[in-house]
Amino acid sequence: MPESQGTTSPLLSLKGVSKSFGGLAALKSVDLDLLPGETVGLIGDNGAGKSTLIKILSGVLAPDSGRLLIAGKLVDFRTYNVRKARQMGIETVYQDRSLGEKQPLWRNVFVGRPVTNRLGFIRVQARKRATMEILQQHVGLRGTGITPDARIKHLSGGERQGLAIGRAMYFDAGIIILDEPTTALSLKEVDKVLAFVGGIHHRNKACIYISHNMGHVYRVAHRIVMLDRGRIVGEYAKASLSLEELGTKLIQIQAVTEGQTL
């Protein structure tokens, strides 16, 4: 648990956020706080609204109603976008949509970021140096022969996630959101990614970790939030329950909501 809970103000705070697509409610009045140095695990079935929540936080979608505060500042959704989110220190790692397959690493690390001169021309050498730094310091790919000129399609799934997470660390994001980063990885690679995620809070950064794998979430999170059909249906401090109890709770909640709809 973060030591200072209750006294510090949240880094990020969602209040009454709703979003629907063509009459289908994806999120129904969701409230969520994220404290400094905290890792929140967000679990829920397919269609629970996890992805929609992430996209709102990272500036891809605007909600229909509700408020978002980042470091206490109210976000204006009319001007909020991915670039703004990054400026405010939010970095998002998507399961398979974080990197351009055919592009070299040095382009991927900086895409969508203005690391250029005034006329918009790219500083290639500076980018390659920074990419090398990410590879060596954050990803631990030293000696694997991967260079900034390598293309993403030649990297393994674990290396890709490592790069995407390393990129977030390099840009010194205060809040890192990870959307199913362990899907389609080998067991060994899962271990590596989880170890990486487990280290994020040590740097006093906050993290939202989304997965439908309860075991993974339980391993890295301080607090676990359950999402079901667009609502937050449960919130638990990890210290207060075991993995088995968490599993039982999830099944109970799903049984209840299914009972309601039947």
Partner 1 sequence: MISALLNKFRIQVGISGVLICLLGGFMLLSPRTFLSARIYISFGSTIPFTAILALGLTFLVIAGELDLSFPSVMAISGLAFADIFLYTQNPLLAMIAALLVGGFAGWVNGLLVVKIGVPSIIATIGTQFFWRGLSALLASGLARNIVSVRETTLHHVFVGRLGDLVPVQAFWCLAIALALGVILNRHVFGEHILFIGDDIHTARLMGIDTDRVRMLLFVFFGVVSAFVSVLICLEMANWWPTQGEGYLLLVFASIFIGGTSVFGGEGTLFGTLVGAVIIGIIEAGIISAGLSGFWTRLVYGFVIVVSVSVYSMVFKTGR
Asked whether position 6 contacts partner 1 by CB under 8 A, the answer is: no
Near partner 1 by CB under 8 A: residue from 13, 19, 33, 86: 86
210 forms bridges with which residues in the sheet?
A: 42, 179
CB 237 within 8 A of CB 223: yes
Amino acid 218 reads Y
Listed residue (53, 52, 46) closest to 14, CA to CA: 53
Asked whether position 101 contacts partner 1 by CB under 8 A, the answer is: yes
Asked whether position 92 contacts partner 1 by CB under 8 A, the answer is: yes
Q: What angle do CA 77, 79, 83 make, to 5 degrees?
A: 105
Residue entry with tokens 């969508």: 112
What mask, x for binding partner 1 by CB under 8 A, covers residues 19 to 58? ---------------------------------------x
Lateral strand order in the sheet of 90-93? 90-93, 175-179, 206-211, 39-43, 223-228, 231-237
Asked whether position 99 contacts partner 1 by CB under 8 A, the answer is: yes
The distance in angstroms from the start CA to the end CA of the chain is 38
Asked whether position 253 contacts partner 1 by CB under 8 A, the answer is: no
Residue entry with tokens 């206490």: 72
CB 16 within 8 A of CB 67: yes
The least distance separating partner 1 from the CB of residue 145, rounded to whole angstroms, comes to: 13
Asked whether position 98 contacts partner 1 by CB under 8 A, the answer is: yes
Choices 18-26, 31-39, 95-103, 248-256; region in contact with partner 1 by CB under 8 A: 95-103
Near partner 1 by CB under 8 A: residue from 124, 237, 251, 255: 124
Q: Count interface residues toward partner 1 (CB under 8 A).
A: 28
| Residues 6+ positions from 236 with CB-CB distance below 8 Å | 223, 224, 246, 249
Return the number of the residue (170 or 218) whose C-beta is nearest partner 1.
170
The least distance separating partner 1 from the CB of residue 174, rounded to whole angstroms, comes to: 17
Residues found near partner 1 in the complex (CB under 8 A) = 58-60, 81-83, 86, 92, 94, 97-103, 107, 111-114, 116, 119-122, 124, 149
